[in-house]
Amino acid sequence: MAVKPQRVSASHDPSLSARVVRRRPLSYTEGPDPTEDRPPHVRSGSGLAWVGDSLAVVQDDANFVALVEPRGDTVRAVSLPRGAGGLRIFDDERGNKKHKLDLETCFSTTIDGDWVLMAFGSGSTRAREQVLEVRFPVDGTHPEVELHHAPAFYESLRNHTEFSGSELNVEGVATIPDGGLRLFQRGNGAPRGELQPVDATAEVSGSLLFEHLQGSGPPPPIQNVVRYDLGTLGKVRLTFTDAIDIGEGRALFLATAEDSPDAIRDGAVLGSVIGLLDPLKPPRWAPLCNAQGEPLAVKAEGIVVSQTEPSRVFVVLDSDSPGTAAELMDVELLGPWRG
């Protein structure tokens, strides 16, 4: 008999607040490069991770990783392999959106002194079933880039409907103790038969997943599925857009109220929240606000904790507008976020 997943409800906690103290558009220091099919700016910010002292920003519609100095002005581009037609930019205007990698989340680690960035496609279509690996050698030589086609892994997630619901859309990944990964499913899909869109988490072995990506074994088992009702902003449901581990089984998560018809098409955004998953307490969240405490109608898609100030996080925004630069926000967390 299949084990039903745990079901948990989250709510707004007025004792918590998340206030933006700085917003910065991300334009490449070197500008555009037509030969590389590189635009002048970071088009979409969909995931965020530390790579040394820099922030790595992955994008869902452009085959570049941006390396950002969090307190400076430099934004460098790491080119990823070209996609269909030899291009690196994918959108409705070009008519090639269906070919984008849709990298939606990432994490980083160190191996033999090198920083390694892992980024995951959403799995919302068959073309989006790739996992990116970028290794940054400790000697400062050029990053080593590899794309792993992972249809069996994504098919296992898709078939586990307690996790995927009606439409698979992986939007977050966070490390957990003992080398595991916690995946975050965004429930912004359309109903499919009796299946409804769900927000959920599941855990997999990081080492078994890496072996699978190297062609050395089957996809890792999917374990510990938890489904969430995150609440609403206005009348629009909140759905996961990213998460980051903060130790002791806890994680900070992002969720956005986006009135989208399914997991592929964008919709009107009412706002985003930063929330806390804690094994000892029900999940709770606070809306992302400006310095005056007024909620912001922004789509937050990537989060990391500051390396120097535990009460600060960096958040990257996706404007869903190719002509508008993604923004990096410095956010102050006030209240009992860690206790």
User: Where would I find the H helices in the chain?
Assistant: 151-159, 161-164, 206-213
CATH of 6-334, one of 1.20.120, 3.40.1350, 2.115.10, 3.40.1050: 2.115.10
Candidates 232, 302, 242, 228; CA nearest to 270 is 232
C-alpha 128, offset from chain centre: 14
Rounded to whole angstroms, the Cα distance separating 10 from 253 reads 11
Structural domain boundaries in the chain: 6-334
How far apart, in Å, are the Cα atoms of 306 and each of 43, 47, 134, 278? 23, 15, 22, 20
Rounded to whole angstroms, the Cα distance separating 41 from 326 reads 8
Show pLDDT as tens, one digit a residue, over the chain (339 residues): 456 788 999 999 999 999 999 999 999 999 999 999 999 999 999 999 999 999 999 999 999 999 999 988 899 999 999 999 999 999 989 999 999 999 999 999 999 999 999 999 999 999 999 999 999 999 888 999 999 999 999 999 999 999 999 999 999 999 998 889 999 999 998 899 999 999 999 999 999 999 999 999 999 999 999 999 999 998 899 999 999 999 988 999 999 999 877 656 778 899 999 999 999 999 999 999 999 999 999 999 999 999 999 999 999 999 778 889 999 999 999 999 986
Angle (CA) 337 51 107, round 5°: 60
- Per the CB < 8 A criterion, the answer to whether 63 and 112 are in contact is no
Burial of 80 (C-beta count, 10 Å sphere; 0-12/13-18/19+): buried
